[in-house]
């Protein structure tokens, strides 16, 4: 159903690789990530405005909850009237996340099957490419195309000495064996991805804590804080798992996305949150 997404992303990544990144795969992924984040920026701004609007409506919502605590239907009716009057959509804050999820999963296909999604080769051509690859260079299962890509020099996956087509591993045999120079440096990407995820979540929690101090009686802020605490644990663990399950190129995308998110959050905290606090003060 969503097969058009990886195809579309593959076309964009290939265009960046061929025309903007000097045929450097790592640089292409970085530029692609920035492009995606900028593309989602209007949705992110909308999410920020939606959150700010929710903060403004909280006193009214709490009053309605107290007034109609024994009448759920009436409460929902009044809340809908309130949202309509103030042109607020409670679900709008989830939109950026909902958009990013299919992009992330589609990118797994693009990075794992570059012959298909970046270069548009047919099934017959791909079979020919893969059959010509020596057995020791073939990557099992989903990533069989990566061996063909390297063998035929279709795509240079080397970036700063890292093979972005390889899957990071904690296997002692790979880390300290004949392929040590290939797999040991790759550990830097999982480390950077997890560290940047922790820092990004830390900044978001700081912003939420500040709002919580301003709205101590707001139960929704308590819920937001609880969710952020859970994400502070879940997100790094998920990042760590992903980093060792998929090619290193995805780790580079994840790290670049986090760095963009960190600077974006710093900007929001300094120029939007602080500005709002000064006005209210």
Q: Is residue 84 part of a domain?
A: yes
What range defines the domain where residue 54 resides? 1-119
**CA dist., res. 130 & res. 126, Å (int):** 6
Residues 181 and 278 in one domain: yes
**Full-model pTM:** 0.82
Q: What is the 3-state secondary structure (H, E, C) of the chain?
A: CCCHHHHHHHHHHHHHHHHCCCCCHHHHHHHHHHHHHHHHHHHHHHHHHHHHHHHHHHHHHHHHHHHCCCCHHHHHHHHHHHHHHCCCCHHHHHHHHHHHHHHHHHHHHHHHCHHHHCCCCCHHHHHHHHHCCCHHHCCCHHHHHHHHHHHCCCCCCEECCEECCCCCCCCHHHHCCCCHHHHCHHHHHHHHHHHHHHHHHHHHHHHHHHHHHHCCCCHHHHHHHHHHHHHHHHHHHHHHHHHCCCCHHHHHHHHHHHHHHHHHHHHHHHHHHHHHHHHHC
Q: Is residue 144 part of a domain?
A: no
Residues 112 and 207 in one domain: no
pLDDT given at position 46: 78
Instruction: Calculate mean pLDDT across residues 155-165.
Output: 90
Residues 193 and 115 in one domain: no
Q: Considering 91, 119, 147, which residue would you say is the last residue of a domain?
A: 119
In 10 A of CB 45, how many CB atoms?
A: 14
pLDDT given at position 210: 59
Q: Is residue 268 part of a domain?
A: yes
Q: What percent of the chain is predicted at pLDDT more than 90?
A: 32
Token digits for 181? 């120079």
Is residue 215 predicted with pLDDT exceeding 60? no
pLDDT given at position 1: 53
Q: How confident is the model at residue 240 (pLDDT cuts 50, 70, 90)?
A: very high
Q: Considering 119, 146, 179, which residue would you say is the last residue of a domain?
A: 119
Per-residue pLDDT of 82-99, as tens digits, reads 888 888 877 766 766 777
Q: How confident is the model at residue 103 (pLDDT cuts 50, 70, 90)?
A: confident
Q: Is residue 15 part of a domain?
A: yes
- Number of folded domains in the chain? 2
Residues 37 and 104 in one domain: yes
Residues 171 and 253 in one domain: yes
Q: How confident is the model at residue 23 (pLDDT cuts 50, 70, 90)?
A: very high
Beta pairing partners, 162? 159
Q: Is residue 131 part of a domain?
A: no
Residues 199 and 277 in one domain: yes
Three-point CA angle 185, 190, 196, nearest 5° = 125
Residues 86 and 27 in one domain: yes
Token digits for 251? 């780790």
Radius of gyration of the chain (CA): 23
Q: Is residue 241 part of a domain?
A: yes
Residues 174 and 110 in one domain: no
Residues 103 and 179 in one domain: no
Residues 91 and 194 in one domain: no
Q: Is residue 48 part of a domain?
A: yes
Q: How confident is the model at residue 157 (pLDDT cuts 50, 70, 90)?
A: confident
Beta pairing partners, 158? 163
In this predicted model, which residue has the larger pLDDT, 152 or 172? 172
In this predicted model, which residue has the larger pLDDT, 219 or 60? 60
Residues 6+ apart with CB under 8 A from 143: 112, 113, 165, 167, 247
**CA dist., res. 208 & res. 202, Å (int):** 10
Is residue 228 predicted with pLDDT exceeding 70? no
Q: Is residue 152 part of a domain?
A: no
């Amino acid at each position: 159903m969503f097969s058009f997404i990886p195809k579309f992303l593959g076309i964009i990544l290939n265009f960046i690789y061929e025309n903007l990144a000097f045929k450097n795969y790592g640089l292409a992924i970085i530029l692609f990530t920035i492009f995606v984040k900028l593309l989602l920026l209007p949705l992110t701004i909308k999410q920020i405005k939606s959150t700010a609007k929710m903060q403004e409506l909280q006193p009214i919502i709490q009053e309605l909850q107290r007034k109609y605590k024994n009448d759920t239907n009436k409460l929902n009716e009044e809340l809908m009237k309130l949202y309509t009057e103030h042109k607020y959509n409670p679900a709008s804050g989830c939109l950026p996340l909902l958009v990013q999820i299919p992009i992330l999963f589609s990118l797994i296909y693009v990075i794992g099957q570059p012959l298909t999604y970046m270069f548009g080769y047919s099934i017959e051509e791909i079979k020919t490419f893969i059959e010509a690859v020596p057995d020791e260079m073939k990557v099992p299962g989903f990533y069989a195309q990566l061996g063909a890509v390297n063998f035929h020099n279709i795509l240079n996956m080397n970036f700063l000495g890292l093979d972005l087509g390889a899957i990071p591993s904690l296997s002692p045999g790979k880390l300290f064996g004949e392929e040590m120079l290939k797999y040991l440096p790759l550990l830097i990407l999982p480390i950077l991805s997890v560290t940047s995820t922790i820092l990004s979540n830390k900044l978001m929690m700081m912003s939420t804590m500040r709002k919580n101090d301003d709205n101590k009686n707001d139960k929704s802020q308590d819920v937001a804080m609880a969710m952020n605490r859970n994400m502070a644990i879940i997100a790094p663990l998920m990042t760590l798992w992903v980093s060792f399950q998929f090619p290193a190129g995805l780790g580079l995308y994840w790290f670049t996305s986090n760095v963009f998110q960190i600077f974006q959050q710093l900007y929001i905290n300094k120029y939007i949150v602080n500005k709002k606090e000064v006005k209210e003060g």
